[in-house]
């Protein structure tokens, strides 16, 4: 079954404690991205990757890091989380190009206290 898998689904952490949210896709997609979803703001792109070792900033990259060492994996790293990073996070992948849809993971609800 084609899918994007994120882990964990829920995470509560303390300010400043480094964390990683994993994302894996099994569709051999070249393009992967991370979004955060906040009430009244919709989805905002954090980082994206067009292929292995190729990453770029989205609209709200501050406080986040990513890496793309393998085609299927695209982890999101918060080196020093802060309460304003409390949000619902989604990973997505697609083939890229005109009209290709994005496939989304189930989401990770992060709370930073």
Residues within the interface to other proteins (CB under 8 A):
4, 31, 33, 35, 40-45, 48, 50, 58, 90, 92, 96-102, 104-107
Partners of 111 in the β-ladder:
12
The whole-angstrom separation of Cα 5 and Cα 22 is 8
Q: How far is the CB of 92 from other proteins (least distance, A)?
A: 8
Task: Give the position of tokens 């070249």.
Answer: 30
Q: How far is the CB of 16 from other proteins (least distance, A)?
A: 29
Q: Specify the residue, 34 or 112, whose C-beta has the smaller distance to other proteins.
A: 34
Cα 73–Cα 27–Cα 58 angle in degrees, nearest 5: 50
Q: Specify the residue, 21 or 92, whose C-beta has the smaller distance to other proteins.
A: 92
Q: Specify the residue, 62 or 101, whose C-beta has the smaller distance to other proteins.
A: 101
Task: Give the position of tokens 């393998």.
Answer: 70
CA 38 to chain centre: 14
Q: How far is the CB of 59 from other proteins (least distance, A)?
A: 9
């Amino acid at each position: 079954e084609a899918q994007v898998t994120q882990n964990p689904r829920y995470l509560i952490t303390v300010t400043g404690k480094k964390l990683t949210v994993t994302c894996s896709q099994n569709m051999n997609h070249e393009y992967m991205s991370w979004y955060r979803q906040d009430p009244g703001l919709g989805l905002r792109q954090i980082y994206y990757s067009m292929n292995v070792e190729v990453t770029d900033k989205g609209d709200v990259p501050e406080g986040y890091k990513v890496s793309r060492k393998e085609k299927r994996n695209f982890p999101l790293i918060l080196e020093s989380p802060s309460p304003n990073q409390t949000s619902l996070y989604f990973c997505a992948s697609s083939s890229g190009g005109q009209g290709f849809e994005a496939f989304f993971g189930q989401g990770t609800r992060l709370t930073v206290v």
